[in-house]
Structure 1
Amino acid sequence: MRMMRSGAVWLLLAWPVVAWAEDAPETQPEEEERRARDNAWRSLLRLDATTLSLLPRAGVGSDEGFLQVEPTVVFERGEDFGLNLGAPVRLRLWGGGEGAGLVRREDWDSLSDFGQVVRALKLGSDDSPIAVWFGALEDYSLLAAHLVRRYSNRLNPDYHPAGGVLTGTLGPLYTEAFVSDVLGARLMGAEFSLDVQHVLFGPPRESARYTLSLSAVHDWGKAGGRAPSTTLAHLDAIAVVVVRPGFEAHLLAGWGGRPGERGAWGAVVGAGADAVSPTLRMMLRLELRRQHGGFRQGSFGPDYELARFKAAGPDGVPLADASFPDGYSVFSEADVGWDAVGYGGTHKHLKLSLGVEAFLWGRFDGDGRVAVQFVQRTIEVALKGLAVGMGQPGARYLGAAELRWRFLSGKLYAMGTGGTLLFPEADGTLRPGTFASVGLGVDNAR
């Protein structure tokens, strides 16, 4: 299932290729085949059964073991509708202490946790005037992405909300709004992007070549554990300076701050490029950033669901209260999807996403994930990692790996996962732990 478009300027990423394809006349059989494909219902049924072990690090807490059963049901029709339901149910095998129930309590102890049943619900497509999407937010960025970048709402192992994204187009105005938790008062924000060329000269041949956008994000801090609230805002100007079939490049500049806090501001300049071909989709970004008075770009980033309780670094306080040195940084990002047999769908021979930021005063942050398929897609290996505050006291590291092997014509697969976790506690500390699981799954994907 395809995620919603991530901003007016990024819409141009696929436009030249799509426009070229639409210019070619369709023969009647091809048109009939396309219409039949768009109107056809597609479904997927899947069931995973694994053993899951949660182990403390440094002697904290106690071991816990579970039998995890995870059903999944998917229905799709064309580009405008998709529904993906399912959630892991963890049945206790050992550990947990006195009074521990059969089902792991932390997975279902708040209203927000019931959002995990909806993995994804899509109503509308990238070409719809209005579209909505609900589900788990993974590597989510809000349009120009200078406030929310590479954010995940499931980094807290005991908090499983469903997020929501609303997009809409009205003449020269494109809007994207999101909430990280549709069932709780948590992170929410919106960005309004104005097509300047459209306003001055009427509808252009190529939309969103020159845009001005305003974004604001607020965290209420009342779901998924109490934490200080915070508000950030940002203004961006973006110009697409090169447009070629399958390739685009743009320049950007922006300024942001904390409303109501004098002296908390930041500025950014940068460039980006996007490339699309039948087998490749690639996005590259490079930015020079300035931070002042505690503000920084990308505050709602990959580490945020832990940093809202305790930020990486020597302070040991929530991110909203943590000091941040004035200075400069360089940020770079790459997102690559490659498929040897033709680009399309969510499963590719190679998927790579990497973001790194180097602060000139001695700190380094990075996160990334890579998935590779081998042997006619029967084996898939996925790795992901997060490192925040490297080069400074109190740095934070997380990592995980997953292996899947399909056999019996791909209907049955074996899987194994393992990695590290951080569990937020009521007093604001983060309890370290590890996890490991092995098991089997079956589906009708092939």
Structure 2
Amino acid sequence: MSRASGWHYLTRLEATTLTLQPRAGVGTSEGFVQVEPTLILDGGAEFGVNLGAPVRLRLWGGGEGLGLVRREDWDSLSDFGQVVRGLKLGSDNAPVGVWFGALESYSLLSAHLVRRYSNRSNPDYHPAGGFLTGTLGPLYTQAFASDVLGARLMGAEVALDVQHVLFGQPRDPGRYTLALSAVHDWGKSGGHAPPVTLAHLDSTAVVVVRPGFEAHLLAGWGGRPGEGGAWGAVVGAGADALTPTLDMRLRLEVRRQHGGFRQGSFGPDYELARFKAAGPEDVPVAEASFPDGYSAYGEAEVGWDAVRYGGLSRHLKLSLGAEAFSWGRFDVDGRVAVQLFARSLEVALKWLGMGMGQPGPRYLGAAEARWRLLGGTLYVMGTGGTRLFPSPEGTLRPGAFASVGLGVDHAR
């Protein structure tokens, strides 16, 4: 990759066959040729753009009167957001930063309302989300929208540096903070669902600071504005480690839920649960009952590279979150990606289990493999897994998918 100008780009084209197969004899299978162009421009720490979207051309199935292009991929304004996979303006060190694109495992700062959320869990809804970060004196703010082209999930969190307010600008900012967050789902894009609003107050104290390592304690309380008796509390601890080859973040929390409120409500399953929650009730999560009780939550984010960890270039990337409830429910979601054989083979796995240990659990899984040939320019790929497709009636239709194909890319 040339570095003479400070600007770099990558072009990529993938072509695969894709089969969508409904389960239990519901509907008919559909077959497509999927063509996926990609253009990435890298202008350094302050600017970057990633454009591209899969175009699925029908080969067979789906019923009479359907067009060449899969209709569900482009039948709303929000679906056109999928063309922007990533747009970065500013950086974490700038006073203001903006990012647009797909939200994958997104968490809003303290993450007690929005945690490990994906805005692409619904396979027929492809919005571009976005978030804005800003710093002004002792205040740090992050605001986000799950769909910048539709009225959907929106929220913000404002964190106050207490040490900065009391004693002036500290040498290590952000060691003692108070934060207030609020999130509202308008429920008017990606299929209609009941609106819901949540708010949370958090306090954090960083108790250990060493080169490449931090440990902190946290406590918080949240609820549903306008809903008396719906509240929750949380206490916990976390540790972050960063070395030239390792980036690791660990969290452990003990939570109390009451009146239907739970921490992390907008999580990895939310884009499906907003139509039908995991469990025996055939209702959206905003209307589903949630037993009072306690839970233990753990989360791990690990990136490791034997040479030097660089985020995208890694030998191992692991992300795992799990929560066990005192009344017998267990939730888990995770993803792992590994590179083998001098990085020529990459294998990625994703899994999701919600409501396990109770009637009506929800399971989803997917796998992807890429093998690079001819010095890495050409690669073969294959994917497969399970999905849930929301219907106009608000139910979820189970299905599966599989694809195989070729890709080629070029970097400058």
TM-score, normalized by length of structure 1? 0.91
Note the C-alpha offset of 1:78: 1.1
> Partner amino acid for 2:205?
A
Give the 4+ runs in structure 1 shifted more than 2 A: 36-39
Q: Distance in 1 between matches of 2:27 and 2:153?
A: 30
Q: Distance in 1 between matches of 2:200 and 2:3?
A: 42
Q: Is the 1:212–1:235 contact (alpha carbons within 8 Å) kept by the matching residues of 2?
A: yes
1:411 aligns with 2:374: no
Q: Distance in 2 between matches of 1:442 and 1:66?
A: 20
Task: Provide the residue aligned with 1:390 in structure 2.
Answer: 356
Which among 66, 70, 89 is matched to residue 104 of structure 1? 70
> Partner amino acid for 1:342?
R
Task: Provide the residue aligned with 2:197 in structure 1.
Answer: 231
- CA deviations on 1:51-106 (whole Å, 9 max, x unpaired) are 00000101111100000000000001110000000000000000010001000000
Q: Is the 2:216–2:238 contact (alpha carbons within 8 Å) kept by the matching residues of 1?
A: yes
1:241 aligns with 2:193: no
Q: Distance in 2 between matches of 1:285 and 1:158?
A: 33
> Partner amino acid for 1:121?
L
**Whose helix proportion is higher, 1 or 2?**
1
1:277 aligns with 2:243: yes
Runs (5+) with no aligned partner, structure 2: none
Q: Distance in 2 between matches of 1:162 and 1:348?
A: 26
- CA deviations on 1:354-410 (whole Å, 9 max, x unpaired) are 000000110000000000000000000100000000000010000000010001000
- Aligned-pair identity in percent equals 79
> Partner amino acid for 1:348?
R
Q: How does 1:83-98 map to 2 (within 5 A)?
A: 83-98=49-64
Task: Provide the residue aligned with 1:186 in structure 2.
Answer: 152
- Secondary structure in 1 matching 2:376: coil
Note the C-alpha offset of 1:37: 5.9
Note the C-alpha offset of 1:345: 3.7
Note the C-alpha offset of 1:346: 1.3
Task: Provide the residue aligned with 1:298 in structure 2.
Answer: 264
Note the C-alpha offset of 1:347: 2.6
Q: How does 1:158-173 map to 2 (within 5 A)?
A: 158-173=124-139
Q: Is the 2:306–2:315 contact (alpha carbons within 8 Å) kept by the matching residues of 1?
A: yes
TM-score, normalized by length of structure 2? 0.99
Note the C-alpha offset of 1:290: 0.1
Q: Is the 1:39–1:78 contact (alpha carbons within 8 Å) kept by the matching residues of 2?
A: no
> Partner amino acid for 2:10?
L
> Partner amino acid for 2:139?
L
Q: Distance in 2 between matches of 1:343 and 1:294?
A: 41
Q: How does 1:367-382 map to 2 (within 5 A)?
A: 367-382=333-348
Note the C-alpha offset of 1:109: 0.1
Q: How does 1:415-426 map to 2 (within 5 A)?
A: 415-426=381-392
Note the C-alpha offset of 1:107: 0.1
1:202 aligns with 2:168: yes
Task: Provide the residue aligned with 1:355 in structure 2.
Answer: 321
Q: Is the 1:268–1:290 contact (alpha carbons within 8 Å) kept by the matching residues of 2?
A: yes
Q: Is the 1:285–1:332 contact (alpha carbons within 8 Å) kept by the matching residues of 2?
A: yes
Q: Is the 1:38–1:78 contact (alpha carbons within 8 Å) kept by the matching residues of 2?
A: no
Which among 160, 178, 186 is matched to residue 212 of structure 1? 178
1:142 aligns with 2:108: yes
Task: Provide the residue aligned with 1:45 in structure 2.
Answer: 11
Q: How does 1:261-276 map to 2 (within 5 A)?
A: 261-276=227-242
Q: Distance in 1 between matches of 2:53 and 2:395?
A: 27
Q: Is the 1:38–1:79 contact (alpha carbons within 8 Å) kept by the matching residues of 2?
A: no
Q: Distance in 2 between matches of 1:358 and 1:316?
A: 22
Task: Provide the residue aligned with 1:338 in structure 2.
Answer: 304
Which among 75, 89, 93 is matched to residue 123 of structure 1? 89
- CA deviations on 1:289-331 (whole Å, 9 max, x unpaired) are 0000000000000000000000001111000000000000000
- Secondary structure in 2 matching 1:183: coil
- Secondary structure in 2 matching 1:320: coil
Q: Is the 1:120–1:136 contact (alpha carbons within 8 Å) kept by the matching residues of 2?
A: yes
Q: Is the 2:303–2:311 contact (alpha carbons within 8 Å) kept by the matching residues of 1?
A: no
Which among 174, 179, 194 is matched to residue 140 of structure 2? 174
Q: Distance in 2 between matches of 1:133 and 1:38?
A: 26
Q: Distance in 2 between matches of 1:391 and 1:247?
A: 37
Task: Provide the residue aligned with 1:20 in structure 2.
Answer: none
Q: Is the 1:132–1:167 contact (alpha carbons within 8 Å) kept by the matching residues of 2?
A: yes
Task: Provide the residue aligned with 2:99 in structure 1.
Answer: 133
- Secondary structure in 2 matching 1:206: coil
Q: Is the 1:292–1:326 contact (alpha carbons within 8 Å) kept by the matching residues of 2?
A: yes
Q: Is the 2:346–2:371 contact (alpha carbons within 8 Å) kept by the matching residues of 1?
A: yes
Q: Distance in 2 between matches of 1:420 and 1:78?
A: 37
- Secondary structure in 1 matching 2:366: strand
Q: Is the 1:411–1:445 contact (alpha carbons within 8 Å) kept by the matching residues of 2?
A: no
> Partner amino acid for 1:113?
D
Q: Distance in 1 between matches of 2:191 and 2:43?
A: 37
Q: 1:154 to 1:352 in 2, by over 3 A?
A: same
Q: Distance in 1 between matches of 2:120 and 2:353?
A: 17
Which among 223, 236, 255 is matched to residue 257 of structure 1? 223
> Partner amino acid for 2:47?
F
Aligned residues: 411
Which among 67, 79, 82 is matched to residue 33 of structure 2? 67
Runs (5+) with no aligned partner, structure 1: 1-35
